[in-house]
Amino acid sequence: MPPPAGSPPLHPPPDGGWGWVVVGAAFISIGFSYAFPKAVTVFFKEIQLIFNTTYSEIAWISSTMLAVMYAGGPISSVLVNKYGSRPVVMVGGLLCCLGMVTASFSTSVVELYITMGFICGLGLAFNLQPALTILGKYFYKKRPMASGLAMAGSPVFLSTLAPFNQYLFNTYGWKGSFLILGGLLLNSCVAGSLMRPVGPKLTTKKSKSKVGVRVTDSGMKKRHRKKSICAKIDKYLDFSLFKHRGFLIYLSGNVIMFLGFFAPIIFLAPYAKDKGIDEYSAAFLLSVMAFVDMFARPTVGFIANSKLIRPRIQYFFSFAILFNGVCHLLCPLAEDYTSLVIYAVFFGLGFGSVSSILFESLMDLVGAQRFSSAVGLVTVVECCPVLLGPPLAGKLVDETGQYKYMYVACGAIVVLASVWLLIGNAINYRLLAKEKLKETTKKIHTPESQEAESLKASKSHDVSVKSQKSKGSGVNPSERETNI
């Protein structure tokens, strides 16, 4: 029986010490994963000319990278469940490097899709999931804080990588830049090497799991062999999560939210230019947003960690999403540059707060043990709205000819997602409280019933002795597990 979600994991997380170094490592990994696909768009205009293609064909490179990064989640989860975070992140770094180095030798756009899009995207997937997982292994009490700090890597890396990419291009051209970026991505191997597996208690857990494996293996041999593959996958990737109520609420809410989440950022600069603002000021809006985002994430992480918010973190998450949605709904009221800057500030605040608690709330719902599988499954499902959102928004802009309808639509979608999550989590909290009450009453009753059974069985001689012995041996190990 999987342990209850809200409780701390089996081996006590350090909640400090080396954990803060791991937060730094996760900062680097998450920074590369989220910022790299966006920062690489700096090269696209020039590459388009060199490869003689249209801009949309080139933009697919970024979409492919993002898609593979999200779709590679389950693969990453399986590997993390089996080998732990460290080897997976190091392999991810090597894959990214390989992808970028081969991209620098490519001669056609298709080769760029394969090298940059697929190989590099897979490497980034191997960076993202393990970084999030290891935070859950190192922190429990301070987990929202750690999560917020680690997620701040994304805006920091984006604001440094984008101008750095421009400098690289001006100095080395696109080939040299790709080569050097490949080298830079090797630094995620350094981040991976910092992700020490948690605690010496890992050895005792291994022995227990080995015993469990042997027992199940012998069981498999007796049953059908066809089911063994499915069972093996299930061992590494917890598909039973799809029956988990909290997980389903989170998944459905997030799918709705991501449809309208990224489009406002992508269209912010074109919207500003459409209002008559010049190119550099429009780009500055994005910088303002990234800057506010950078500080919002750790701050919101800190707030989420407080005694008042932590037990109700799902409500806080829903509120942050609602804030985002309202921001987008009010955006069309912004007419001049100052009001757009104010919108960018609030948007950065909203975006940062949602991103900060995005994975923390999932950890809160499913628990740290199942988080690895959960995040893989969530990202592969979220792949669709993340990729479909911006093109759909673009189509809406093309059809209506105005950006404000797109902003209103995105705001409405995000508000809907927040309301859905709010109601869903309110019900979930109540049902969880009821279940907890049932469990505590059950625990009080079971020792009494066991004693009653042993008394009844004691009437006959040998049979009673045997049965008591079997019951005795059966009761004690399971009691020990729940006590631990």
Which residues of the shown chain bind other proteins in the complex (CB under 8 A)? Answer: 49-50, 52, 90, 101, 169-173, 175-177, 179-180, 182-184, 186-187, 189-190, 193-194, 196, 200, 454-455, 458-461, 464-465, 468-469, 472, 476
Query: For other proteins, which is the closer residue by CB, 345 or 475?
Result: 475
Least distance to other proteins, CB of residue 44, Å: 16
Query: For other proteins, which is the closer residue by CB, 103 or 241?
Result: 103
| Dihedrals phi, psi of 133, to nearest 5 degrees | -65, -40
Contact 405, 166 (CB under 8 A): no
Tell me the DSSP string of 34-51: HHHHHHGGGGHHHHHHHH
CA dihedral 188, 127, 103, 36 (to 10 degrees): -80
Position 379: which residue type?
T
Q: Residue 188: how many CA atoms within 13 Å on its side-chain side?
A: 36
Query: For other proteins, which is the closer residue by CB, 162 or 296?
Result: 162
Length of the chain: 484
Kindly give, in sequence order, each residue whose CB lies less than 8 Å from that of residue 390, ignoring residues fewer than 6 positions away. 262, 263, 266, 267
Least distance to other proteins, CB of residue 72, Å: 23
State whether the Cα torsion 418-264-150-70 is positive or negative: positive
Tell me the DSSP string of 184-251: HHTHHHHHHHH-PPP-TTHHHHHHHHHHHHHHHHHHHHHS-STHHHHHHHHHHS-GGGGG-HHHHHHH
Least distance to other proteins, CB of residue 474, Å: 12
Contact 279, 273 (CB under 8 A): yes
* Residue 256 Cα to chain centre, angstroms: 16
Least distance to other proteins, CB of residue 53, Å: 13
Least distance to other proteins, CB of residue 484, Å: 12
A 10 A CB-CB count for 291 gives 16
Least distance to other proteins, CB of residue 49, Å: 7
Q: d(Cα 23, Cα 27) in Å, to the nearest integer?
A: 6
Least distance to other proteins, CB of residue 189, Å: 6
Least distance to other proteins, CB of residue 200, Å: 7
Query: For other proteins, which is the closer residue by CB, 184 or 326?
Result: 184
Kindly give, in sequence order, each residue whose CB lies less than 8 Å from that of residue 302, ignoring residues fewer than 6 positions away. 144, 145, 148
Least distance to other proteins, CB of residue 134, Å: 15
CA dihedral 239, 245, 246, 249 (to 10 degrees): 100
Least distance to other proteins, CB of residue 148, Å: 25
Contact 161, 35 (CB under 8 A): yes
Least distance to other proteins, CB of residue 262, Å: 30
List Cα–Cα distances, 320 to 312, 381, 468, in angstroms.
13, 22, 56
- Both tokens assigned to 252: 């459905």
Position 145: which residue type?
M
Contact 435, 6 (CB under 8 A): no
Query: For other proteins, which is the closer residue by CB, 95 or 322?
Result: 95
Query: For other proteins, which is the closer residue by CB, 189 or 358?
Result: 189
Query: For other proteins, which is the closer residue by CB, 13 or 144?
Result: 13
Query: For other proteins, which is the closer residue by CB, 287 or 468?
Result: 468
* Residue 52 Cα to chain centre, angstroms: 36
